Amino acid sequence: MEITTFNYLIEWAIGIIFFYLMYYFLLRNETFFKLNRLFLMVSLFLSAIIPVLHFQTIDIKQDVVYSIMLETVNIGGKISNLSHEPSTISVLETFFKLYISVVILLTVRFLIKLLSIYKLIVQFGIERVNGKKIAFVDSQFSGFSFFDVLFISNDIRSNKKLEEILQHETVHINQLHTLDILVIELVTIIQWFNPFVWFYRKALKQTHEYLADRGVLEQGFDSGKYQMLLLQQQIGVQPSLANNFNKSLTLKRLIMLNKKESRRFAGIKFLAMLPIVWFMLFVFSCDKAKEVTEILEVENEISSENSKIEVQPIFFVDGVEKQSIDNIEPSQIESMNVYKGEEAIKKYGEKGKNGVISIVLKKNTGIITETIKTSENGDMIFLIVDEMPQFPGGDIALSTFIAQNVKYPESAREASIFGKVYVRFVVTKLGKVEQVKIARGVHEDLDKESIRVVSMLPDWTPGKQRGKAVDVYYTVPIQFSLQ
């Protein structure tokens, strides 16, 4: 099971819990039965859909960073290679196996219930009475309905109470209660591990019965005689997928039948749904505001032998070809496009075969947003210099150093977290590695480990521009992979 799927199930479960608690404490004893039903169904939908929504609450600041992109360092996370792990099966995998097993069992149970209803139709057939589809079944079954079919015991076929029962089940049919039942049954299968979904299921069925009872009385049936009929019908068998006339909630139904109508101002309780929705959106759907860095990658063409760039792209600044961009600070740049291969040749001809960097400068440098452009001592940080900084032993030694020192975080491995972390840093004119930051992260644990190791890098041979040592940007991608 992927961590995202696991997170979704948990967030959905939390939503169900919040909405059910609101129903239980604020709405359960109110007589707004139609609104209660609407609340239960809408909140069920919201609890499922909110966790998949993602948006940002504030504008994201984008820093344009120019740096040499080094070769990706691959870090493996083979669980089986770790001697301290007693088993290759993680907690998440164990839960997944248990989860799927129960889902399969509940699905089979659900299909058996559907099949049992179909068998009743086949066994007893369907008759039309006053335009209604009715299957007269054995006496062991009390009245219930499934979509537009009513199932009535043969014992009450000629009973004078038949009309009340028919009217009760007709309300279930007209208001499509079977559809609600099927939805909550499917949700229960998926959310079986959440005890509140079972409470939810019970609450929805109770609300259906309250609605049907009210519908009978609104047709002019005597309240006292109808309540007596409920007591007489207390024993009977009916498939749980059906909307049945008789349930163990008979006492609660009798209480609600005699309960005074809730006052209109009590409906304001439904507004309590708004802060719950807001809270869920904030917690589950709002991405935390992060400083997102756009990395403009320059392919690594550095020679580990002589520390010079073997091939250098041509530069165009505001459409004019330039030999270098040494005199341009990053904060002055509006946009930057990198063209490579056939695209560069097609756009700029043969001279673009080594790549083209097209830069558009900002027109009003007085109101630009500050970007990281200088080192801590105020010196300019270069992108490309005459002599690039050199790691002791070259690029291969650099990759080896990182690979040997990175330790795959155990918590990330157990949670099946992987991905590529981009670490940006500056090789100063003294050869020191400074300003180590995450340019593009994956997860807090992986990000911290990447910063820790890059911060350990030994001194480099500093880069030089026109014979003078200068600060130079670098970015190294570290790929964390689970195998």
Residue 293 lies in a domain: no
Residue 377 lies in a domain: no
Domain tally for the chain?
3
One domain, residues 45 and 73: no
One domain, residues 70 and 195: no
| Rounded CA separation 310/299 (Å) | 11
One domain, residues 44 and 136: yes
Query: For residue 354, what are the CA distances in angstroms to 171, 303, 311, 349, 368?
Result: 76, 16, 7, 11, 31
User: SS3 for 470?
Assistant: strand
Mind listing the pLDDT tens digit for each residue in 7-23? 899 999 999 999 999 99
Among 372, 398, 416, the domain-final residue is: 372
Which of 105-114, 128-137, 450-459 has the least mean pLDDT? 128-137
Q: Give the mean model confidence (pLDDT) for residues 182-209.
A: 96
Residue 294 lies in a domain: no
One domain, residues 110 and 9: yes
One domain, residues 171 and 203: yes
One domain, residues 72 and 42: no
**332, two tokens:** 């002055």
Q: By residue range, what is the domain housing residue 42?
A: 3-53+89-285
| Rounded CA separation 280/12 (Å) | 10
Q: Give the mean model confidence (pLDDT) for residues 406-431.
A: 90
Give the DSSP letter of residue 309: B
Residue 341 lies in a domain: yes
pLDDT at 307 over 90: no
One domain, residues 401 and 330: no
Mind listing the pLDDT tens digit for each residue in 248-269? 467 788 888 888 888 877 778 8
One domain, residues 264 and 350: no
Percent of the chain past pLDDT 70, that is, above it, reads 77
Residue 227 lies in a domain: yes
Residue 81, pLDDT score: 43
Q: Identify the residue with better confidence: 118 or 342.
A: 118
Residue 290 lies in a domain: no
One domain, residues 36 and 182: yes
- Type of residue found at 259: K
One domain, residues 246 and 179: yes
Mind listing the pLDDT tens digit for each residue in 20-65? 999 999 999 999 999 999 999 999 999 999 998 876 554 444 444 4
Residue 206, pLDDT score: 93
One domain, residues 84 and 101: no
One domain, residues 16 and 161: yes
pLDDT at 387 over 70: yes
